[in-house]
Amino acid sequence: MSGKMKGKRVLVTGSGTGLGRETALEFGRQGAQVALHYAHSKEGAESAVDEILEMGGKATAIKADLQKTEESIRLAKEALDFLGGMDVLVNNAGISMTLEFENVTPEQYDTVYNVNVRAQFFILQTVLPAIRSAGGGSVINLSSVHGIRACKGHSVYAGTKGAIIAHTRELAVELAPYGVRVNAVAPGAVPVENQFKAAGTEDFSELAELIPCGFAGTPLDIAKTIIFLASDDSRYIVGQTIVVDGGTTSWMSFSNEFNHIGLRLGKGYVKGL
């Protein structure tokens, strides 16, 4: 095993499918020892473990229900026992929900916040002493462009992703003096299994029309960003949320309307307009 993460001990939550699974695999490719968490996707997590073992690496899969704080803490402790410590934590696990604000129940609200925010908080709290005793390390929290921009029907989900950005910034300031760097990644459109199931199709080609770069991202695009933030290549990046979205959040959604109505701002006081 070789690579920029050689010998690093890593926990990736939510690694049975999608971004988490590809991130765990990429850590394995880069030489890390990996504990993969899953809640439901046992087959995906265990097949990823097999792939890492075939590379000559070290990996295991651990099941835990992150809706329950005691399960989050147990996961963290089992990962520490398996790895013998920890250098990198990737808080990737999360669940989404699209529902009009007025129809959200307290139970639904608690479910999404417990998994997306509360679990991240207490997993890090549990593994922090080990990361500090290792001389420092890196924590990467997965947020979303929904934490930065609004989209109808995402009042609960967007709230959790905004909270992740805020507590990433706060924890980064608290923990940086101990050599623990905390950052976040906010992915844009990256179709994965859950989207395929929700949409009933794997054809997301129409997304390209909505993304300035002309294509949707892949789990590997996000995984490589996470590897960068986990490595010493990013040693001076602290408390940041890195947006990986093909330019989506940089685009004004009504910009085409300017052209459609022939609006030319600056006319009369900017030469040539």
Is the residue at 1 inside a domain? no
* pLDDT for 59: 98
Q: Provide the pLDDT confidence category of residue 215 given band limits of 50, 70 and 90.
A: confident
Cα–Cα nearest to 193, from 20, 35, 10, 11: 20
pLDDT in tens, 56-113: 999 999 999 999 999 999 999 999 999 999 999 999 999 988 889 999 999 999 999 9
Is the residue at 147 inside a domain? yes
The answer to whether residue 253 is catalytic is: no
The answer to whether residue 58 is catalytic is: no
Q: Supply the mean pLDDT for the chain.
A: 90
pLDDT in tens, 156-189: 999 999 999 999 999 999 999 999 999 999 998 8
pTM over 0.85: yes
Q: Provide the pLDDT confidence category of residue 260 given band limits of 50, 70 and 90.
A: low
Q: Domain containing 204 — which CATH number?
A: 3.40.50.720
Q: What is the amino acid identity at position 269?
A: Y
* pLDDT for 205: 73
Is the residue at 168 inside a domain? yes
Is the residue at 62 inside a domain? yes
Task: Please check the confidence at residue 268 and state whether its pLDDT lies above 70.
Answer: no
**Which of the following is catalytic: 161, 224, 234, 271?**
161
Is the residue at 3 inside a domain? no
| Full residue range of the structural domain in which residue 173 is found | 9-260
Task: Please check the confidence at residue 265 and state whether its pLDDT lies above 60.
Answer: no
**Which of the following is catalytic: 113, 157, 197, 236?**
157
Between residues 212 and 272, the one the model is more confident about: 212
Cα–Cα nearest to 88, from 50, 31, 138, 52: 138
Is the residue at 92 inside a domain? yes
The count of structural domains within the chain is 1
Is the residue at 152 inside a domain? yes
User: What strands lie across the sheet with 9-12, from one edge to the other?
Assistant: 59-63, 33-38, 9-12, 88-91, 137-142, 180-187, 241-244
Give burial (CB, 10 Å; 0-12/13-18/19+) of 166.
middle
The answer to whether residue 96 is catalytic is: no
Is the residue at 272 inside a domain? no
The answer to whether residue 38 is catalytic is: no
DSSP 212-252: TTSS---HHHHHHHHHHHHSGGGTT--S-EEEESTTGGGS-
Percent of the chain scored above 70 by pLDDT? Answer: 87
* pLDDT for 66: 97
**Which of the following is catalytic: 63, 143, 155, 267?**
143
**Which of the following is catalytic: 15, 72, 138, 144?**
144
Name the DSSP class of 209: G
